[in-house]
Amino acid sequence: MKFYFTCCVFAFYTVQLCAQNVIDFEGFNLESESFLNGADESGGFSVGAVFLPNDYNPDFGSWTGWAISNTTDVTTPGFMNQFSAFPGSGLDGSAHYAVAFSYSENIMNFTGEAAGQPISGMYITNSTYAYLSMQEGDAFAKRFGGITGNDPDFFLLTIKAYSDGVLSADSVDFYLADFRFADNSQDYIVDEWTFVDLSTLGAADSLSFQLTSSDVGQFGMNTPAYFCVDNIFATELVSSTTSFNSPTLFEVFPNPTTNYVQIKHSAKESVDCTIFNMEGKLVLRQTLGIDGGRIDVQFLPKGSYLIHLQGDHIRLARMFLKY
């Protein structure tokens, strides 16, 4: 549900997604259940116009920064399983994703024409290591909620933008786990890929990611400092992965609407169109042709809805209002 709420927010703020690129990590073509942790000492990973720094220490065999992975273990707790995303795959079942690990600031750089441009957002989720640590506790970190389940624990990812070397005052907070609710039934640990809207950060040469947790001791944060990223939505990027050259990528009109919405896209392929209500429930599914199509929404109750397009080369979302 939270995934689609996030997508709705994203859709509101990204009025124009024209010439958007989706940076994913499928181009790495790793063998199954493997990872790259920078052991080649290349200093990071270039994916289209994104550079993910990696600091590998050959003496210690340790790494920090970013890794690329396609491991799928969602059951093994502990650091031996530090490269797995908890959903068990990349976004929507894709194989590859990026894993971030650092107890201090983690940086994502944008290169070429993408540098200095606004970033729309990206999909983020928990690593299996962090998720199971928060869910069950481990020898060092507590089970979130504590003994009673009432501890107001949280695992927070704070994202800021660097522009011309200056760190933005604005930030986007994304709670990878939030147990601060008075009603414990609302407590959650993010367990699926969730779109995080970063458009409010404005232009960015790079992004700063910082993890904080309520479970912190004298020696720092106890919660494993990991999170995973897939499908980075950047503007005007020249990507080696997925790109759209059409000036009109995805249009939904009329919006607001009463009876139907007309959808246009430039994917040049048939796409799977799904509509979700604000509770995250799937209310309609329809296949659209290469130019789009018309969807009858008369039967839907009044309210806000999310349209999601999924094709071989696109994965986009828009929001519309039914009244």
Partner 1 sequence: MPSKVNPSIDTHCYCLFLTFNSNNVCHSKCFFYSLIFLAWGTLESYGQLLADTTLSIPSVEIKSTKVRNQSVGGNTQAWTPAQLDRLPANNLAELLAHQTGTYIKSYGLGSLATSSVRGASAGHTLVLWNGLPIQSPMLGQLDLALLSLQAMESVEFTRGGNAALWGSGAIGGIVNLDNQANFSQKLHVKSNTLFGSFGQFQQQLDVGLGNQKIQSVTRLSHQQATNDFYYFLADGLPERQQTNAQLSQQSLLQDLYWKWNDRRQVALHFWHQQSDRQIPPTNVQNRSEAHQDDLATRVIMEVKQVTDRGLWQAKMGFFNEHLNYFDDLILLESRSHFQTYLAEITGQWNWKEQHQFLVGNTHTYTRAWSAGYRENVPSEYKSALFTSWKYQTEKLKTQLSLRQEIVDNQWVPLVPAFGFDFYVNPDFSIKGKVSRNYRLPTFNDRFWLPGGNPDLLPESGWSQELTLAKTRKKSGLQLQTSLTVFNRTIDNWILWSIREGQSFWSANNITKVWSRGLEPRLTLSYPLKNSTLQFRGGYDYIRSTNQVPLDNPKMAAGDQLIYTPIHQAFGTLSWEWKGLYVAYQHDFTGKTDGINDPLESFQVGNIRLQYTGNITKYKGTLFLNFNNLWDVDYLVVERRPMPGIHFQMGVKVSFNEKL
CB of 141 to partner 1, least distance (A): 8
- Cα–Cα distance, 93 to 287 (Å, whole number): 19
58 part of the interface to partner 1, by CB under 8 A: no
Q: In degrees, to the nearest 5, what angle opens at C-alpha 161 toward C-alphas 128 and 69? A: 30
Q: Position 287: which residue type?
A: T
Residues numbered 67 to 96 that lie near partner 1 (CB under 8 A) are: 76-81
Which string of x and - marks every residue 95-134 that binds partner 1 (by CB under 8 A)?
Answer: ------xxxx------------------------------
Radius of gyration, CA atoms only, the chain: 20
Shortest spacing between CB 149 and partner 1, in angstroms: 9
Amino acid at 256: P
Q: Which stretch binds partner 1 (CB under 8 A): 62-70, 191-199, 252-260, 293-301?
A: 62-70
Applying the rule CB under 8 A, the residues between 221 and 260 that interact with partner 1 are: 222
Measured in degrees and rounded to the nearest 5, phi and psi for residue 314 equal: -135, 160
Output the CA torsion 282→284→287→293 (10° steps): -130
Query: Could you give the 3-state DSSP secondary structure of residue 280?
Result: coil
* One residue of 142, 160, 265, 318 binding partner 1 per CB under 8 A: 142
Q: Which residue, 139 or 182, has its beta carbon nearer to partner 1?
A: 139
Distances, alpha carbon 275 to alpha carbons 104, 284, 295, in Å: 39, 5, 10
166 binds partner 1 (CB under 8 A): no
Q: Does residue 34 belong to the site contacting partner 1 (CB under 8 A)?
A: no
Q: Judged by CB, which is closer to partner 1: 136, or 279? A: 136
Select from 36-44, 59-67, 171-179, 183-191 the region that touches partner 1 (CB under 8 A).
59-67
Residue of 196, 162, 161, 199 lying closest to 176 (CA atoms): 196
Among 2, 143, 264, 268, binds partner 1 (CB under 8 A): 143
Nearest to 135 by CA among 82, 187, 94: 187
Residues in contact with partner 1, total (CB under 8 A)?
35
184 — phi, psi (to 5°)? -60, -20
Task: Compare residues 142 and 308 and give the one whose CB is closer to partner 1.
Answer: 142
- The helix or strand, by DSSP H or E, that contains position 81, with its residue range, turns out to be none
C-alpha 173/C-alpha 192 separation (Å) is 17
Q: Among 38-46, 58-66, 257-265, 300-308, which window interacts with partner 1 (CB under 8 A)? A: 58-66
Site residues, partner 1 (CB under 8 A): 55, 57, 59-64, 76-81, 101-104, 135-139, 142-143, 146-148, 215-220, 222
